[in-house]
Amino acid sequence: MADTSMTKGDLISNRRTPKSVPRVGMLPIVLVVLTAFFTLLQPRFMSIGNLVIVARQVSFLVIVACAEMIPILTGGIDLSVGSTAGLISVVTAIATLRFGLVAGCIAGVLGGALIGLINGSIIGKFRVAPFIVTLGTLSMARGLALTITDGQTVYGLPPSFRVLGSGYVLGIPVPIIVALAVVIITWILLDRTRFGRYLYAIGGNAEAARLSGINVTGYIILAYVYCGCLAGLNAVLLASRVNSGQPNLGSGLELDAVAAVVIGGVPLSGGQGKLRGILMGSLILGMLSNGCDLLNVSSFIQMIVIGAIIVLAVLADKYRRS
């Protein structure tokens, strides 16, 4: 009888990354085509001022896309990142008003981590489908935000709070700096640590990973906690950008996050994908949104386009894997 046992090293060395390379290789071409298209129709698209606006807008998406990528790598998903933004913006605003800026920011990130811990614990320990769990969390987080505020916006935040979402450091918008830091940290975790290697192994074959000695439940919980931390951080920046806590903030953000991840070459089945693809996927969506705004394209039409892109990206992935 053939020996079918696998070690942790076997699983990690066999992680399924090569198939994601072709899509990532096509993304720069898509970026060039989009740039040429929007520049031709609206020359202002390539102005320095507009490029800074695009970079600032994309930075928020990059953070939440990095968050979404982590559970998707395990074969899961987090649909609650948008509602988390609304709830955490309210928590951050209230905590800032009562205890100060630093306490408010810490409360926001820890609040996001708590939501991730709840998601990860239910998914990992009870093996409930991530889609169902996070769909429930999506509803609960939004409802809790609306209940706390009675559906009203939390105003009166100090001017210093606005610096996080709208300020500059050495001429560089703060959100861009934060997004770069998130990308670097996430890259280190995925490519240079056991945490990242095990996430790929779990996404490739969770049962084989468990049999090889990997604590699958523990790493799934950690994946959702990290996702929650980044979602909380993004919520703090979004709240700072509008200088208020808004219970409806982040509506539809989960769609943009999943779109950026799927376009970037990470299949919803998990186990493969690269961070550079996520960056390009986020940039593609940011350029589409900005270009359509410059051309006065309806936001409703933009929603249709984003939805179509997600479906096409998933179909393309299934075609390559068949």
Question: What one-letter code names the amino acid at 174?
Answer: V
Average pLDDT over residues 99-128: 97
The string of pLDDT tens digits covering residues 146-167 is 999 999 999 999 999 999 999 9
Q: What average pLDDT does the segment 241-256 reach?
A: 95
Smallest CA-to-CA distance from 264 within 36, 54, 14, 28 is with: 28
Can you give the pLDDT at residue 246?
97
Does the pLDDT value for residue 6 go beyond 80? no
Looking at residues 87-113, what average pLDDT do you find? 98
Distance CA 287, CA 273 (A): 22
Q: What is the pLDDT of residue 8?
A: 61
Q: Spell out the domain ranges in the chain.
A: 47-321
Q: Is the dihedral of CA 257, 258, 263, 267 positive or negative?
A: positive
> Residue 282 to residues 83, 96, 146, 247: CA-CA distances in angstroms?
20, 30, 29, 24
Ordered DSSP codes for 214-257: --HHHHHHHHHHHHHHHHHHHHHHHHHHHTSB-TTTTTTHHHHH
Q: So what's the pLDDT on residue 311? A: 85
Cβ atoms within 10 Å, residue 94: 17
Tell the residue number behind the tokens 């300020």, with chain if given.
167
pLDDT tens figures, 253-295: 999 999 999 999 999 999 999 999 999 999 999 999 999 999 9
47-321: in CATH 3.30.70: no
pLDDT at residue 138, as a whole number: 97
